[in-house]
Amino acid sequence: MDEERDRRARFERGMAVLREIDGEEARRVLDTLADVSPELAHQIVAWGFGEIYARPRLPPRDRQLVTLGMLTALGGCEPQLQVHVGVCLNVGLTPAEIVEALLHAAPYCGVPRALNATLVAKRVFAERGLLPVVDAGRAE
Amino acid sequence: MDEERDRRARFERGMAVLREIDGEEARRVLDTLADVSPELAHQIVAWGFGEIYARPRLPPRDRQLVTLGMLTALGGCEPQLQVHVGVCLNVGLTPAEIVEALLHAAPYCGVPRALNATLVAKRVFAERGLLPVVDAGRAE
Amino acid sequence: MDEERDRRARFERGMAVLREIDGEEARRVLDTLADVSPELAHQIVAWGFGEIYARPRLPPRDRQLVTLGMLTALGGCEPQLQVHVGVCLNVGLTPAEIVEALLHAAPYCGVPRALNATLVAKRVFAERGLLPVVDAGRAE
Amino acid sequence: MDEERDRRARFERGMAVLREIDGEEARRVLDTLADVSPELAHQIVAWGFGEIYARPRLPPRDRQLVTLGMLTALGGCEPQLQVHVGVCLNVGLTPAEIVEALLHAAPYCGVPRALNATLVAKRVFAERGLLPVVDAGRAE
Amino acid sequence: MDEERDRRARFERGMAVLREIDGEEARRVLDTLADVSPELAHQIVAWGFGEIYARPRLPPRDRQLVTLGMLTALGGCEPQLQVHVGVCLNVGLTPAEIVEALLHAAPYCGVPRALNATLVAKRVFAERGLLPVVDAGRAE
Amino acid sequence: MDEERDRRARFERGMAVLREIDGEEARRVLDTLADVSPELAHQIVAWGFGEIYARPRLPPRDRQLVTLGMLTALGGCEPQLQVHVGVCLNVGLTPAEIVEALLHAAPYCGVPRALNATLVAKRVFAERGLLPVVDAGRAE
């Protein structure tokens, strides 16, 4: 039916966006929802990516900067930060830019949130062989 | 003394409520407080359950719906969500209703919080042999 | 086109839900978005109400209990609480039940959040001539 | 009955604490609850102040320092900050100490929260004729 | 002395950054701190802008995207959002891009936070004669 | 250069403060930042401790009470709570005082946050052989 085909079309649109910006991380998360809340998985793909993320008015690189800010400020979203730091790298942000964005977070969210987010980024960088981060300042 | 007997009476009232709505989860948490903050444990039982939860004006099922909303929105309260999803099941909410309540959370708290709460619910359902959740929609 | 007609269909579905549960409050808020973010208004109606709220698995009364919990816990969402306390009344929750749900919030979100939410509810009740709240306990 | 008399005893204990630490601000807030949630008012006094605040293990000055931290971090609790900055002054914290505590908050909660809390403190100081704050540093 | 001169140098560096990105809004806020917490004002300028914002690794436009995400997610930071939406416009983000960033926030922070932030942006746009926002979609 | 020497001076000032109040916990955390965000580590030490914490207007014991409140209220900052409960002990707060401060948090942040913070404190006390906490009340 129309509604049926409509759902499938938006889901496909969302999957197309996901395939462009995500390696496998986000899709693995969606799989974990299959036996508990497949509808939430559908909405993440169809609405989150198919309707909102797909909009051309803001490119993925810009969207990911906003997302870094949100997930850092929220706190307790380390699983999502893990996925989205990966997406950041996929859409063209460098490790140094990601690190700088999280440092920029410190005056706004406080050091604890900025620090917790930075340590999540470190894990993602480690997995991708991107440590140490080049051009990331010095401690002293 | 009066104050002493008063404390014991409220504690007993709270334990009575707990025994009705909780299997063992909440009581295990209270035990972990014994050597660090027994007063916090007392207040959770005597005040939280004995004074507030026990009030007849809102039945447990309704209270648990409000609680699902709060613990999802707060974030970082996965341990409490774990206990309370169990209480939800004990007071008559079905897995599908719990999943739907957490899906309902997405427009209000955002997907990260709703997703993290849903994955906690999944763990509780798994422990109780309630997966896959029946009547929970489909992804496409 | 298909996509166009789908958007309109979901928007209509959402407006139908809104008309059932909301007097005028929510629609007034949507109007304020017309000259700044009409797309956000569209998504609130089409997705929030048309896709999620409309789902039969959880009736409006139950959804509103979850929402009371979320908006109280989030803090800073007094404008939304104002709208949703009104929706609570429209879908069959009594003032005493709403007040009890917000009292139930105190052990979970703390007194400040519960108090701020209760004072928003008071304003809505005042507007609808529902003060004093009947069967809401006594202070001493 | 016993339960009745216990409630009154704890309420009285809480009012006694309130009278020691609060001028009129907190009691004015409690009055606003009379026609909507007198039970919440009862619990704030009887439990919040009568059972927890009254405990001798931490004096009011120390409690208020913890409270400054919490209300600043929570955000959206400006009404409560207004009351509690007043309580801080009543229990012996100086304006300069209060200002320093809120400055100390900036690295932990971020500047926005610290700033919003500081501007609430400014309003309370203004009402009490305590501006400018002595010994509060300089901008350059 | 050295420490004195260092403080002044960093303060000047921060004021230089502020003059580039802010019309008058942020500086007006700093003035309100003069009689209560001049040290907080100093740190905002010297540290927030002089040490962090001034770093070349992330340009102002990118920083403001992260900031939009953080202030939206935090909630209760409408005063800061008001200043920073203005800064967004000053550093080259268009009203449509700002609106799109706040729409992008809805799946991550939920609609209430995104909506409250969007209405703050509307106020800033109104003050600058930038309503209606061009190229911002349509409701149906 | 001046700016160089300035950075080093503030870093040294911060390390001096850290050595006074922290055993090894905080410094271990800073080490984990070396290969990802050494600048964040620098700022934590030079600004957080060297510029703010070092100020004489509020002694460490008072600062730690504010910090306990903030980290409890924020939620999701268990790693920082772990470090700072240790700092609390180092600057003269007793386990019973720490436990009481976290109990005091319950009416303001709600039981979940207070409970999660208390269980972090329990871990730190266990590591230092400080369980059971003396003079911490009783459950009944």
Phi, psi of E11 (to 5 degrees): -65, -45
Q: Chain E residues with CB inside 8 Å of A105's CB?
A: 66, 70
Question: Measured between CA atoms, how close is A71 to chain C, in angstroms?
Answer: 15
Confirm if A120 and A98 have CB atoms less than 8 A apart: no
Confirm if D97 and D85 have CB atoms less than 8 A apart: no
Is the pLDDT score of B137 beyond 80? no
Residues B89, B95, B97, B100: is their CA dihedral positive or negative?
positive
**DSSP symbols for chain B:** -HHHHHHHHHHHHHHHHHHHH-SSHHHHHHHHTTTT-HHHHHHIIIIIIIIIIT-TTS-HHHHHHHHHHHHHHH-S-HHHHHHHHHHHHHTT--HHHHHHHHHHHHHHH-HHHHHHHHHHHHHHHHHTT--SPTT-----
Count contacts between B and E (CB, < 8 Å).
Answer: 20
Question: Considering only CA atoms, which of F44, E113, C3 is closest in space to residue A107?
Answer: F44
Mean pLDDT value across chain F: 94
- Average pLDDT value for residue range E53-75: 98
Q: What percent of chain E has pLDDT over 70?
A: 96
* Dist CA F75 CA F81 (whole Å): 10
User: Which residues does D30 contact at the CB level (< 8 Å), separation at least 6?
Assistant: C139, D41, D44, D45
Q: What is the pLDDT of residues E26-45, one digit of tens each?
A: 889 999 999 999 999 999 99
The verdict on a CB contact (< 8 Å) between B111 and A44 is: yes
pLDDT of residue C55: 97
* Dist CA B3 CA D51 (whole Å): 11
User: Would you tell me the crossing angle of helices D111-127 and D95-104 to the nearest 10 degrees?
Assistant: 170
CB-CB: which of D53, D57, D106 is closest to F52? D106
Long-range contacts of E3-9 (CB under 8 A, 24+ apart): E3/F9, E6/F2, E6/F6, E6/F9, E6/F10, E7/D140, E7/E42, E7/E46, E8/D140, E9/F2, E9/F3, E9/F6
Question: Measured between CA atoms, how close is F114 to chain E, in angstroms?
Answer: 20
Is the pLDDT score of C139 beyond 80? no
Is the pLDDT score of D134 beyond 70? yes
The verdict on a CB contact (< 8 Å) between D108 and A108 is: no
- Chain F: residue nearest B41 by CA? F139
- Average pLDDT value for residue range A66-77: 98
Confirm if F139 and B12 have CB atoms less than 8 A apart: no
Which chains pack against C, by 3+ Cβ pairs within 8 A? A, B, D, E, F
Q: Chain A residues with CB inside 8 Å of F71's CB?
A: 112
Question: Please, which pLDDT band fits residue F135 given cuts at 50, 70 and 90?
Answer: confident
Mean pLDDT value across chain C: 94
The ipTM, to two decimals, is 0.95
- Average pLDDT value for residue range E119-134: 97
Q: Chain F residues with CB inside 8 Å of D65's CB?
A: 62, 65-66, 69
Establish if B120 touches chain F: CB-CB under 8 angstroms: no
Is the pLDDT score of B25 beyond 90? no
pLDDT of residue F24: 87
Question: Measured between CA atoms, how close is A35 to chain B, in angstroms?
Answer: 5
Question: Measured between CA atoms, how close is E11 to chain A, in angstroms?
Answer: 16
Is the pLDDT score of F53 beyond 90? yes
The residue with tokens 């708290």 is B109
Question: Measured between CA atoms, how close is C106 to chain B, in angstroms?
Answer: 9
Establish if E140 touches chain C: CB-CB under 8 angstroms: yes
Question: Please, which pLDDT band fits residue A23 given cuts at 50, 70 and 90?
Answer: confident
The verdict on a CB contact (< 8 Å) between D107 and A111 is: yes
User: Would you tell me the crossing angle of helices A78-90 and A60-74 to the nearest 10 degrees?
Assistant: 160
Q: Chain D residues with CB inside 8 Å of A104's CB?
A: none
Phi, psi of F133 (to 5 degrees): -70, 125
Instruction: Spell out the domain ranges in chain D.
Output: 1-57, 58-133
Is the pLDDT score of D127 beyond 60? yes
The residue with tokens 């404008």 is C79
Q: A-contacting residues of F 83-112, CB under 8 Å?
A: none
The verdict on a CB contact (< 8 Å) between C99 and D36 is: yes
CA-to-CA dists, residue B84 to B61, B88, C63, C98, angstroms: 11, 6, 17, 21
The verdict on a CB contact (< 8 Å) between D139 and E41 is: yes
* Dist CA F46 CA F39 (whole Å): 10
Question: Measured between CA atoms, how close is D23 to chain A, in angstroms?
Answer: 33
Is the pLDDT score of E136 beyond 60? no
Is the pLDDT score of D113 beyond 80? yes
Establish if E54 touches chain D: CB-CB under 8 angstroms: no
Q: What is the pLDDT of residues B64-99, one digit of tens each?
A: 999 999 999 999 999 999 999 999 999 999 999 999
Count contacts between A and E (CB, < 8 Å).
Answer: 98
* Dist CA C13 CA A19 (whole Å): 30
Establish if E77 touches chain D: CB-CB under 8 angstroms: yes
Is the pLDDT score of C15 beyond 90? yes
Q: What is the DSSP letter of F57?
A: T
Question: Please, which pLDDT band fits residue C67 given cuts at 50, 70 and 90?
Answer: very high
Q: What is the pLDDT of residues D38-83, one digit of tens each?
A: 999 999 999 999 999 999 999 999 999 999 999 999 999 999 999 9
Question: Measured between CA atoms, how close is B126 to chain D, in angstroms?
Answer: 34
Mutation target among B15, B35, B37 for the F interface, most CBs of F within 10 A: B37
Is the pLDDT score of F92 beyond 90? yes
Question: Please, which pLDDT band fits residue F88 given cuts at 50, 70 and 90?
Answer: very high
pLDDT of residue E102: 98
pLDDT of residue E1: 67
Q: Chain A residues with CB inside 8 Å of B113's CB?
A: 74, 76-77
Q: Chain C residues with CB inside 8 Å of B57's CB?
A: 96-97, 100, 135
pLDDT of residue B140: 42
Is the pLDDT score of C140 beyond 50? no
User: Which residues does A31 contact at the CB level (< 8 Å), separation at least 6?
Assistant: none
Question: Considering only CA atoms, which of D57, D81, D82, D54 is closest in space to residue D67?
Answer: D81
Is the pLDDT score of D4 beyond 90? no
Question: Please, which pLDDT band fits residue B1 given cuts at 50, 70 and 90?
Answer: low
CATH of domain E58-133: 1.20.1290.10
CB-CB: which of C8, C41, C74 is closest to E112? C74
Establish if E40 touches chain F: CB-CB under 8 angstroms: no
pLDDT of residue F3: 81
* Dist CA B121 CA A68 (whole Å): 26
Establish if B77 touches chain F: CB-CB under 8 angstroms: yes
Mean pLDDT value across chain D: 94
Q: Chain B residues with CB inside 8 Å of D38's CB?
A: none
* Dist CA E52 CA A60 (whole Å): 25
Greater confidence (F77 vs F22) lies with F77
Greater confidence (C64 vs A4) lies with C64
User: Which residues does F123 contact at the CB level (< 8 Å), separation at least 6?
Assistant: F82
Q: Chain B residues with CB inside 8 Å of C74's CB?
A: 73, 108-109
Question: Please, which pLDDT band fits residue A1 given cuts at 50, 70 and 90?
Answer: low
CB-CB: which of C2, C47, C55 is closest to A47? C47
Question: Please, which pLDDT band fits residue D1 given cuts at 50, 70 and 90?
Answer: low
The verdict on a CB contact (< 8 Å) between C48 and B107 is: yes
Establish if B37 touches chain F: CB-CB under 8 angstroms: yes
pLDDT of residue B14: 96
CB-CB: which of A108, A112, A113 is closest to D112? A108
Q: What is the pLDDT of residues B108-129, one digit of tens each?
A: 999 999 999 999 999 999 999 9
The verdict on a CB contact (< 8 Å) between A107 and D109 is: no
Q: What percent of chain D has pLDDT over 70?
A: 96
Establish if E116 touches chain F: CB-CB under 8 angstroms: no
CB-CB: which of C40, C42, C45 is closest to E114? C40
Establish if E70 touches chain B: CB-CB under 8 angstroms: no
pLDDT of residue A52: 97
* Dist CA B129 CA F49 (whole Å): 51
* Dist CA B100 CA B114 (whole Å): 10
Question: Please, which pLDDT band fits residue A140 given cuts at 50, 70 and 90?
Answer: very low
Establish if C45 touches chain F: CB-CB under 8 angstroms: no
* Dist CA E49 CA E46 (whole Å): 6
Q: Chain D residues with CB inside 8 Å of A109's CB?
A: 109-110
Q: What is the DSSP letter of F36?
A: T
The verdict on a CB contact (< 8 Å) between A106 and D109 is: no
Q: What is the pLDDT of residues F64-78, one digit of tens each?
A: 999 999 999 999 999
- Chain F: residue nearest A123 by CA? F36
* Dist CA D29 CA C119 (whole Å): 10
